[in-house]
Amino acid sequence: MILPVYTYGQPILRERAAPVTEDSPVLQRLIDDMIETMHGASGVGLAANQVGHPVRLFVADLSPYEDELLEEFGEVPEWGRGPVAFINPEVVEADEESAVEIEEGCLSIPDVREYVVRPDRLRVRYLDRRFQPHEIPALGMLARVFQHELDHLDGVLFVDHLSALKRRLLQRRLREMAAGKVEADYLLYPPH
């Protein structure tokens, strides 16, 4: 089922999500619905609080970046072959010297894209949807998506990483979005 995506200004986007403590049919259904929602909105990643569930879970699908993954890893890792759930994700180590500036967007902030500086090399830990633990290197696009979605779970949005000047230039647009004046070609919450 496609879920509505919460937009800028909704309080849940500023809350720190709670850890996932157990597997359940409800959790598995949420993962499936989040994947369907992400694909329906042409997204690469989606955090649970973006669809109204303040738990430490995000989904990502990096399969469109297969060429980049081949270049970075020499093969396409299992997590790069289709949608993956990241439960209780955390960054174990970040190589700050690898930081690069890349344009980002967000399903919760439609039609806004800005450049954000983030480390390009991480070591991350998470549980997959079968609750199996993983600790892997996250390079390039996975590093970018992992940090963006992990920020969501901590109540941080990509616009928070912008300079004061850039935030000021976006202020009017963000105020309008918070007031419900926003459109997208996917389902939004609150309904517009």
Residue 151 sits in a domain of what CATH number? 3.90.45.10
Indicate the pTM of the whole model: 0.95
The answer to whether residue 116 sits within a structural domain is yes
Q: Is residue 191 over pLDDT 80? A: no
What pLDDT score does 48 carry? 98
Closest C-alpha among 172, 144, 168, 127 to residue 22:
127
Q: Is residue 192 part of a domain?
A: no
**DSSP H or E segment with residue 133:** strand 133-139
Rounded to an integer, the average pLDDT of 113-134 is 97
93 is annotated as an active-site residue: no
- Is residue 186 in a domain? no
The pLDDT assigned to 78 comes to 84
Longest CA–CA separation in the chain, Å: 47
How many other β-carbons are positioned within 10 Å of the β-carbon of residue 21? 10
Q: Classify residue 189 by its DSSP letter.
A: E
Give me the number of domains the chain comprises: 1
| Catalytic one of 101, 135, 149, 183 | 149
Residue-range definition of the domain harbouring residue 43: 5-179
- Alpha helices by DSSP H, 61-139: 66-73
Percent of the chain whose predicted confidence (pLDDT) is above 70: 99
